[in-house]
Amino acid sequence: MVSPIAPNSLAGLPSATAIERLKHDGYNELPSARSRSLLAIAWGTVQDPIFLLLLGGGIIYWILGDFQEALILLGFVLFLMGIGLYQEGKAEHAVSALRDLSSPRALVIRDGQRSRIAGREVVREDILVLAEGDRVPADAIVLSCINLSTDESLLTGESLPVRKAAAVGNSTEMARPGGDALPFVYSGTLVVQGQGTAQVQAIGAQTEMGKIGDALQNVKPELTPLQQEMTRLVSRLFGIALLLCVSIVIIYGFTTGDWLKGILAGITLAMAILPNEFPVIVTIFLALGAWRISQKQVLARRASAVETVGAATVLCVDKTGTLTLNQMAVQQLLSYKGSENYDLAAHPHDPLPEAVHELVEFCILASQRDPFDPMEKAFKQLGDRYLAHTEHLHSDWRLLREYPLSPHLLAMSHVWQSADSKQYVIAAKGAPEAISDLCHFPPQQQKILVAQVSEMAAQGLRVLGVAKASLLAAPTPFLPPHPSIHPNHLPDQQHDFSFQFLGLVGLSDPVRPTVAAAIQECYTAGIRVVMITGDYSETAQTIARQVGLLQMGAVLTGAELDHMSDAELSQRIQSTNIFARAIPEQKLRIVNALKAKGEVVAMTGDGVNDAPALKAAQIGIAMGQRGTDVARESAALVLLDDDFSSIVQAVKLGRRIFDNLRRAMAYLIAIHLPIAGMSLIPVLFKLPLVLLPVHIAFLHLIIDPACSIVLEAEPAEASVMQRPPRNPKEPLFGRKTLGLAVLQGSGILVIVLTIFIVALYRGQGELDARALTFTTLILANLGLILSEGSASRLSLKILRSPNPALWWVIGGGLFFLAIVLYVPFLRQLFSFSFLHPIDQAICLLGGALSLVWFELLKQTAKLRS
């Protein structure tokens, strides 16, 4: 048995009660996989191949009786585990923050006021306000509704929507999902029609969804295409690396007879060439990229969108709320009663003329009592300001029936019954052509109306028509001879009423101040901007001029679009940037036509009908504030503030993320080449070993944070939005990128190998040669990090970079290098000799030559591109 419905339930719960119930009952969410603990992250690090190789090397040194070497390797194990914990913890924190952001929202009534909260914060006995396109956040009983239907296929498997009715009585037993005319709605179901209010009866695991939701705990996130590509690449390289390592062990063992050192050489080579960092770097970059985008008010619902958004070539955007503030205000009133056009902006403090009073009254009567729509809010604010009896209209009159807007008739009507049941009026508002159709305008009057609408729309106003009808004044055959009319006796269509045209209302919606600059930034970046709006052509063109949106050809209207074939649309879409009087269903045709031309489309939407277009676009972008749950779930990105400039920031960040990811991968290839070479060449030519496991571990202390921390945090290039979008089919490792990385790595290998051979040739000994070679390799590695930080800037300019992680890694690398070179105990563990000033000069020269080589390669590549 559910809780009785309190008489004052529509006032909602007091906030204090809601907070207390949230503490007692917990959040309204299904049990899900928890964030990984530090122990779980540490266990994942232990399973890393590098960790296992270090552990194996330590065991071999222990067997050889070299306890100091074994202990130093164990120390590096702890260091690498610490880096892993930091990296993974940062990624987990980012994912957790995104999980909170992506929580479905709910509109509830608390303390008598409507509040939009996270769905997980809904508590028992909360009053939900449901509208078309919303996802129901909890199991609830319907208190009131108008044409309310929900899709319960998620629970029942039945695809047909289920009609709802308001509950009768003080308490009702919750029934199972399915069946028409029941007063229950269920968590996870979709409102596909109408609106209503409902009182929450069950949350979280107690809902019908919760009873069948245990399996959700085992759902694993899918790998992105890029991650799958990295997995395949790593698998192949791992096989090659394993074969080389076994070969080295066998060759060294047979040629020298020292099998233990042969195993150490094999382990060293494995640590040098195993590509275990590749998939880790991709995962971290995508997770942190999604988190960074969320800081710009854009929520990435799918990690793949982070890498895709930077490749957008076309941005299709709505006008209202995206280019404009969606804070509408009535600016002009054109009354047909007195043929008077009244401009409120010109008379801000004067009372309204009597001639427009009726026009304002019926604007309000054609709207919701407590409006949420910006236009309806503007009507109510106008009435509250100028009409003393506005509250009387809404408090005493009874709404008998609502005729909603439809794609076939862009008008809606409310049938009202007066308090004394002696008067019945119908108030209609909508597109002027739809209202004139309801009023049966003759052609000449239609022509006059079109001219008046065009004049108002040319001023950037959104124009609506208003009409009225009276049942008693014009009796119709369908009405029975009874003083009180039942809603079921009303006609099915608005056309059955005899409407009288009252006039036109012009509303203004200011342009967002950031839009003009953002659109110019799009054009500089080679991105085309297309406006798709339901407004008139004149209004759309006015807004386009205000924001600087280029109009290549004529405006294409929704009516013209309906009469076009796909071939004709394919031709027109190349020169059309403004689509006016378009309905949401037509967005799908526009998106498909653009995709057929090879464009990468980013598409904004907010309604249920926008969902197919959002799914069809490569980057669907849902409105976070005014968008429906259906639209948000169909989109890859959610625009939390509905601001167009946030989309542009997401594109900029997407380009930055891809650039930095490519640099990180190129860096890994470049630095592994000399490490692998210096591990392999001495073995093949029977020279003293240069790199031992302890040296590779030291290098990883620089390589790992350089990839996942330094290069990930690098700011975007100054020219990132001054170049055309990249080809989405362009591989991460193109020939140019791979070739540049190989040349960089080969340059380091030649320099360090030269220093090593010259040192041996001069008879300096194994320890001297190893110290010189390793120091040069470290300095060249730090120079490579500086160089990879930018594809265009000189490294000396990067020194002014605001990336603090760069200085931590470079400073830390130099500090630890100095320690192992000049602290006797550590110098002995690393098998180094003391470096004199002349030796330091040689190493610095080698590092400087490496940096010059990197910059020459970078500038050459820049000139060729």
Write the DSSP assignment of 774-834 as a string of letters. Answer: HHHHHHHHHHHHHHHT-SSS-HHHHTT---HHHHHHHHHHHHHHHHHHHSHHHHHHTT--P
60-69 mean pLDDT: 56
What number of CA atoms fall less than 13 Å from residue 610's CA on the CB side?
Answer: 30
Q: Do residues 548 and 519 touch, judged by C-beta distance below 8 A?
A: yes
Per-residue pLDDT at 429? 93
Residue 601 has pLDDT above 70, yes or no: yes
What is the CATH T-level fold of the domain 298-324+511-642, as seen in this structure?
A: Rossmann fold (3.40.50)
The more confident residue out of 834 and 858 is 834
Distances in whole angstroms, Cα of residue 561 to Cα of each of 420, 566, 580, 603: 49, 9, 10, 18
Q: What element of type H or E holds 119?
A: none
Q: Do residues 618 and 601 touch, judged by C-beta distance below 8 A?
A: yes
The more confident residue out of 3 and 448 is 448
pLDDT tens digits, one per residue of 766-790: 899 999 999 999 999 998 888 876 6
Per-residue pLDDT at 220? 45
**Pick from 480-484, 551-555, 643-647: least confident:** 480-484
Using the Cα atoms of residue 510, residue 513, residue 518 and residue 521 in order, give the sign of their dihedral: positive
847-863 mean pLDDT: 84
687-711 burial string, b = 16+ CB within 10 Å, else e? eebbbbbbbbbbbbbbbbbbbbbbb
Can 298-324+511-642 and 329-508 be said to share one CATH topology? no
% of the chain exceeding 90 in pLDDT = 21
pLDDT tens digits, one per residue of 218-238: 434 444 456 556 666 666 666
Per-residue pLDDT at 522? 92
Please give the CATH architecture assigned to the domain spanning 39-95+249-296+650-715+732-864: Up-down Bundle (1.20)
pLDDT tens digits, one per residue of 644-662: 888 888 899 888 888 888 8
719-726 mean pLDDT: 88
Residue 682 has pLDDT above 50, yes or no: yes
Q: Do residues 279 and 611 touch, judged by C-beta distance below 8 A?
A: no
Six token digits for residue 58? 């330590």
Give the Cα separation of 50 and 364 in Å (integer): 70
Q: For Cα atoms 40, 43, 44, give the angle at the middle one, nearest 5 degrees.
A: 90
Q: Do residues 93 and 85 touch, judged by C-beta distance below 8 A?
A: no
Q: Do residues 198 and 142 touch, judged by C-beta distance below 8 A?
A: yes
Phi, psi of 476 (to 5 degrees): -125, 160
Per-residue pLDDT at 154? 64
**Pick from 180-184, 286-290, 660-664: least confident:** 286-290
Per-residue pLDDT at 33? 45
**Pick from 35-39, 158-162, 259-263, 469-473: least confident:** 35-39
66: exposed, middle or buried (Cβ count in 10 Å: 0-12, 13-18, 19+): middle
Per-residue pLDDT at 131? 87
Distances in whole angstroms, Cα of residue 136 to Cα of each of 140, 184, 209, 373: 9, 11, 11, 20
pLDDT tens digits, one per residue of 83-135: 556 655 655 554 455 444 445 678 999 988 888 888 889 999 999 999 887 88
Give the Cα separation of 556 and 578 in Å (integer): 7
**Pick from 57-66, 116-125, 589-598, 783-792: least confident:** 57-66
Give the Cα separation of 634 and 619 in Å (integer): 10
Q: For Cα atoms 721, 722, 727, give the angle at the middle one, nearest 5 degrees.
A: 75
The more confident residue out of 59 and 850 is 850
Residues 6+ apart with CB under 8 A from 84: 41, 42, 44, 45, 48, 704
Domains of the chain, by residue range, sit at 9-29+106-214, 39-95+249-296+650-715+732-864, 298-324+511-642, 329-508
Neighbour tally for 568: CB within 10 Å: 13
What number of CA atoms fall less than 13 Å from residue 131's CA on the CB side?
Answer: 17
pLDDT tens digits, one per residue of 367-407: 887 776 778 888 888 888 887 665 556 667 888 888 877 76
The separation between CA 761 and the C-alpha centre of its own chain, rounded to angstroms, equals 59
Please, which pLDDT band fits residue 215 given cuts at 50, 70 and 90?
very low
Per-residue pLDDT at 57? 58
pLDDT tens digits, one per residue of 699-714: 877 877 777 778 888 8
Give bridge partners of residue 402 from the DSSP assignment.
414
Which of 126, 139, 151, 318 is catalytic? The answer is 318
Residue 34 has pLDDT above 70, yes or no: no
Class of domain 9-29+106-214: mainly beta
Please, which pLDDT band fits residue 753 given cuts at 50, 70 and 90?
very high
Residues 6+ apart with CB under 8 A from 178: 152, 155, 156, 158, 162
Give the Cα separation of 710 and 712 in Å (integer): 6
Amino acid residing at 673:
L
Counting other chains too, the contacts that 513-519 makes at CB distance below 8 Å and 24 or more residues apart are: 514/643, 514/644, 514/645, 515/323, 515/547, 515/644, 515/645, 516/546, 516/547, 516/548, 517/645, 518/644, 518/645, 518/647, 518/648, 519/547, 519/548, 519/549, 519/644
**Pick from 343-347, 353-357, 721-725: least confident:** 343-347
The more confident residue out of 594 and 258 is 594
Neighbour tally for 861: CB within 10 Å: 16
Per-residue pLDDT at 135? 84
Give bridge partners of residue 828 from the DSSP assignment.
none
Rounded to two decimals, what is the model's pTM? 0.66
Among residues 674, 673, 700, which one has the least CA distance to residue 45? 700
Neighbour tally for 231: CB within 10 Å: 14
Please, which pLDDT band fits residue 473 given cuts at 50, 70 and 90?
very low
Using the Cα atoms of residue 756, residue 760, residue 766 and residue 767 in order, give the sign of their dihedral: negative
Q: Do residues 271 and 696 touch, judged by C-beta distance below 8 A?
A: yes
Per-residue pLDDT at 199? 92
Please, which pLDDT band fits residue 850 given cuts at 50, 70 and 90?
very high
Residue 615 has pLDDT above 90, yes or no: no
Per-residue pLDDT at 664? 86
Per-residue pLDDT at 802? 64
Phi, psi of 81 (to 5 degrees): -65, -40
Give bridge partners of residue 233 from the DSSP assignment.
none
Please, which pLDDT band fits residue 2 given cuts at 50, 70 and 90?
very low
Per-residue pLDDT at 222? 43
Is residue 214 annotated as a catalytic residue, yes or no? no
Give the Cα separation of 778 and 840 in Å (integer): 12
Class of domain 329-508: alpha beta
Rounded to a whole number, what is the distance in angstroms from the first to the last CA of the chain? 73
The more confident residue out of 613 and 589 is 589
Q: Do residues 211 and 203 touch, judged by C-beta distance below 8 A?
A: no
Distances in whole angstroms, Cα of residue 68 to Cα of each of 59, 61, 694, 825: 12, 9, 11, 9
Six token digits for residue 717? 């290039």
